[in-house]
Structure 1
Amino acid sequence: MTATTAERARTRLEALASAGLDTPAFATGAIEILRGALPFSAACLATADPATELVTGTVKWGGLTNNEDDIWAHQEYVVDNQYSFTDVTRRPGGVTTAAAETGGEPSRLPRFHEFFTPCYDFGDELRVSAPADGATWGFIALFRDGSGRFTPAEMDFASSVGPLFGRGLRGGLVAGAVDTVTGPDGPAVLVVDHAGEVVQAGAGATARLLDLGATENGPMPFSLVALVGAARRYASGRSHQLPRTRLRTRSGQWVVAHASPMASRDGSGTDVVVTIEEARPPEIVPLVVAAFGLTPREQDVVRMVLQGHGTAEIATALHLSSYTVQDHLKAVFAKVGVRSRRELTSRVFFDQYAPRLAEGRGVAPSGWFAPGTPPCVPTTTAV
C-alpha cells in the first residue's frame, strides 16, 4: 500500500461519511473503498450502541452470511479467553489483529480453531473500532485466508480511517426520517432457550422481529442474538450489568431491547427473556442528538430547545449571549437539515412521536400513546 493509495482512500471515505447515506449504503461503499487500499478476503462491518458497545447490526462482504450469526454471537459474548470488539476499543489506536494478540498463532483463539478456520479457512483477523467524538458507533472486522497476516502498517492505516467509519455509521442512524408511524405498537416478549431458539413469544413478537429485519420463520436478527449472548455472559458472572440496546427498525421506529437470563430454583436455568419496547424520548434523544454530529455546546442548546426554552432562557442558563445562542441554532439547523425549532423537534424525534400527536393519539395510563385513542381535550362549561 503506497502513501498515495492510502491518502486517496481516506479522501474517498471522508466524502462518503459526509454523504448522508443510510447504514447499508454507507457500509457497502466504504468496504469497497477500504478494499482498494487494504486487501482482505472478507469483511464484517458492525454497528453498535455507543452507550453499551453492543453490536446492533452487521453488513457482511466476501462470502460471509447471516447463517452463522448464533455462532458469531456465542464466540463474541460467551466464549472466554479471547479478545472482543469491546476490548479492541481499549487497544492502542483502537486496532488489533488475531496474530498480534496471540504471538503469531491465531489458532490459539477458540473463534479460530472452532469457527473461522474450519468454516472459512481464515488465517488472520484485523479488528478496528469506529469512533466519533469520543463514542464508539461500530466496529470493522477484516479477514485474510490461509497464512496471510496483516502488517503493522496496515493496522496503522485501519486505525486512521476508523473515525471516518464512525462518522458514517453515526450519520446512518439519522438518514431518512419517516413521515408516518407504520411499525408495530406495544411491547413484545420472547423466551430463548439454550440452543438460541425462540420457545415462547408474546403477542406482537412476530411483528417486532420482522420490523427488526428477521424473515418469516427465520432466525432472530443479529442484534437480538448478540443481546442474548451478552445476557448469558452476565449470567456467568463475567459482566455486571444486564444488557440493553437501542435499535432503529425498518419502519423507522426506535426501540429498546433488554435481555435477562432466567434461573430455575437450583440455578441451572439457561433460558433468556428478551423484551422489545418502543423507546421513550429520554432513552433515544441523547443518541439521536449525538448522531447528528453536534458539538457539546450545540447539544446543550438543543436539549434546552426540546424542553421548550426560549433564546433568552437558553442564553442565561448557558452563560452565553443571545447572539451566540442564535449562531449555535443556525449551525444546528444546517447540520440537522431543518429551518425552525419546530422542525428541529420533529427531526430529533425522527417524526416518531410527532405523527402520533398529529393522528390524535391519546395517552394511556402507562404514560405512553394509546393505539387509536383520541387525545384528551379539555371540556368547557358555559357560564
Structure 2
Amino acid sequence: MTAVSAERVRTQIDGLAAAGLDWPTFGAAAIETLRKALPFSAACLATVDPATELVTATVKWGDVDDEHDLEWSYYEYEVEDVYDFREVSRRPGAVAALGAETGGDPTRSRRYAEMFAPVWDYSDELRAGLSADGATWGGLALFHQGGRTFTLAEQEFVTSVSAGFARGLRTGLVVGAADLAVLGDGSGPAVIVVGADDEVVSANVGAQERVTDLGGGPLGDAPLPQVVCAIVGAARRRAADPGAPMPRARLRSRSGRWVVAHASPMVGRGGTVADVVVTLEDARPPEVIPLVVASYGLTDRERDVVGLVLAGVDTADVAARLHLSAYTVQDHLKKIFAKVGVRSRRELIARIYNDHYVPHLVEGGALAPSGWFAGASGR
C-alpha cells in the first residue's frame, strides 16, 4: 500500500459517497475501490439501523456467502467473543484486527475457530465500525487467507476511509422512491416462526412476498434475509441479557419500502428459548421519518429546523421556538435544501414524505387510527 494510492482511494470513495448511488451499488463499487490500496481475500459490508446497530443487509465480495448468515448471526449476537461490531464501533478509530486482538492466536475467538477457519480458511479478520456525524450506519469486515494478517498501517488506513463508507451507506438509504407495485395492496405484516434449530417452523400467508422483497428465497429452502438472521440472534441474546441489543431494526426493502423487523423469543419450560417469532411490516411515519432525515447528514440544529418545518411551522415561529433570528433560520434552510437536493420548503416536505410515506395516498389507502394506511398494511 503506497501513500499515493491510499490518498487516491480515499478520494475515490468520498466521490462515490457523494454520487447519489443506492447503497448496494455504492457498497460494491467502494469495496472494489478499496482493494486498489488494500488487497484482501474477502469482504462483507453491512448496513445497520443506527438506533440498535443490528445488521440489516449486506454486500459481500469473495467467497464469503449468504449460506452462513444464521451461523454468522449466532456468533455475532449470541456468543461472547473477543469483540463484536457494536463494541468495535465505540473504540477510538473504530477498528480491530483479530490477530492483533488475540496476540497472534485467533483460535481464542470462537467465531474464528468454529466458522472462519473451517469454512473459509481465513487467517485474519479486520473489522471497522462505519460512523458519520455521531451515528453508526454500517460495519465492514475484511479477511486474509494464507497466513496473512492485517498490519497496523492497514488498520489505520481503514479507519481513514470509514467515514466515506458511512456517508455512502447513509446517502444510499434514501435514493429512489418505493415501488408500490411489488407488494399487493392488502399485504399485511409477515409473521415467521424460527425454531431452535434455525429452521422455519411456520409462516403466515403473505410472508413469502415480504421475504422475497428483502432478498430472501423460498421459505424453508433458501437462506433467510440477513435482517431476519440478525434479529433472531438478538432476540435469543436479549432473553438472557436484557442489556443486549433490541431485536428490532428498520431497513429499506428491494422495492424501496421502509420495513420494520422485530422479533420476540418464546420461552419454554425451564426458561429456555424455544421458537422466535419474527414480524416484518411497513414502517410507520414516526419510525421512518427521523431515519430519513438523519440520512441526509444534517446537523443537530438543521434537524431541529426540519422537524418544525415538517410540522408546518412557519419561519418566524421556527425562529421563536429555537431562539434564533429569522435570518439564521433562513440560512439553515438554505443549507438543508442543498443537502437534500431541493429548492423550497414545499419541495423539502415532498421529498421526505412523497418518497417514503405519501405514495400510499395515490393508491387510495385510508388512513387508519394507527397512523398508517389500512389498505396498504392490512391494519
Same fold (TM over 0.5): yes
Select the residue among 317, 331, 335 that pairs with 1:331. Answer: 335
Aligned to 2:194: 192
Query: For residues 1-383 of structure 1, what are the structure 2 equivalents within 5 Å?
Result: 1-178=1-178, 180=180, 182-184=182-184, 185-217=187-219, 218-237=222-241, 239-240=243-244, 242-349=246-353, 351-371=355-375
Contact 1:186 1:277 in 2 (8 A): yes
Larger Rg: 1
Q: 1 CA distance for matches of 2:212 and 2:84?
A: 28
Cα deviation, 1:237-292, whole Å, max 9, x if unaligned, reads: 27445411001111211111111110124323421011122111111111111101
Q: 2 CA distance for matches of 1:269 and 1:155?
A: 38
Q: 1 CA distance for matches of 2:369 and 2:292?
A: 27
Contact 2:98 2:106 in 1 (8 A): yes
Contact 1:242 1:260 in 2 (8 A): no
Q: 1:91 to 1:148 in 2, by over 3 A?
A: same
Identify which of structures 1 and 2 has the higher relative contact order when contacts are C-alpha pairs closer than 8 Å and 6+ apart: 2
Give the SS at the match of 1:271: strand
Contact 2:46 2:58 in 1 (8 A): yes
More moved, 306-315 vs 177-186 = 177-186
Q: 1 CA distance for matches of 2:287 and 2:352?
A: 12
Q: Supply the AA of the counterpart residue of 1:256.
A: V
Q: Could you tell me how far 1:54 is from its partner in structure 2?
A: 0.6
Q: Supply the AA of the counterpart residue of 1:40.
A: F
Q: Supply the AA of the counterpart residue of 1:226.
A: A
Given the two structures, how large is their TM-score scaled by the length of structure 2? 0.94
Q: Supply the AA of the counterpart residue of 1:149.
A: T
Q: 1:134 to 1:366 in 2, by over 3 A?
A: closer
Contact 2:94 2:129 in 1 (8 A): yes
Given the two structures, how large is their TM-score scaled by the length of structure 1? 0.93
Q: 1:179 to 1:372 in 2, by over 3 A?
A: closer
Runs of 4+ aligned structure 1 residues displaced above 4 Å come to 179-182
Structure 2: gaps of 5 or more residues: none
Q: Could you tell me how far 1:180 is from its partner in structure 2?
A: 4.7
Cα deviation, 1:290-323, whole Å, max 9, x if unaligned, reads: 1011122211111001111111111111122222
Contact 2:42 2:143 in 1 (8 A): yes
Q: Supply the AA of the counterpart residue of 1:81.
A: D
Q: Supply the AA of the counterpart residue of 2:153.
A: A
Q: Could you tell me how far 1:362 is from its partner in structure 2?
A: 1.6
Contact 2:191 2:204 in 1 (8 A): yes
Contact 1:181 1:253 in 2 (8 A): no
The size of the alignment, in residue pairs, is 373
Aligned to 1:380: none
Cα deviation, 1:218-251, whole Å, max 9, x if unaligned, reads: 2210111011011111123274454110011112
Contact 1:306 1:345 in 2 (8 A): yes
Give the SS at the match of 1:349: helix
More moved, 153-162 vs 77-86 = 77-86
Contact 1:191 1:271 in 2 (8 A): yes
Q: Supply the AA of the counterpart residue of 2:254.
A: R
Q: 1:350 to 1:85 in 2, by over 3 A?
A: farther
Contact 2:48 2:136 in 1 (8 A): yes
Task: State the identity %.
Answer: 58
Q: 1:203 to 1:141 in 2, by over 3 A?
A: same
Q: 1:216 to 1:299 in 2, by over 3 A?
A: same
Q: 1 CA distance for matches of 2:16 and 2:352?
A: 23
Contact 1:177 1:347 in 2 (8 A): no
Q: Supply the AA of the counterpart residue of 1:330.
A: K
Q: Could you tell me how far 1:181 is from its partner in structure 2?
A: 6.1
Cα deviation, 1:172-192, whole Å, max 9, x if unaligned, reads: 101112375643532221111
Q: 1:181 to 1:300 in 2, by over 3 A?
A: farther
Q: 1 CA distance for matches of 2:270 and 2:38?
A: 52
Give the SS at the match of 2:271: coil
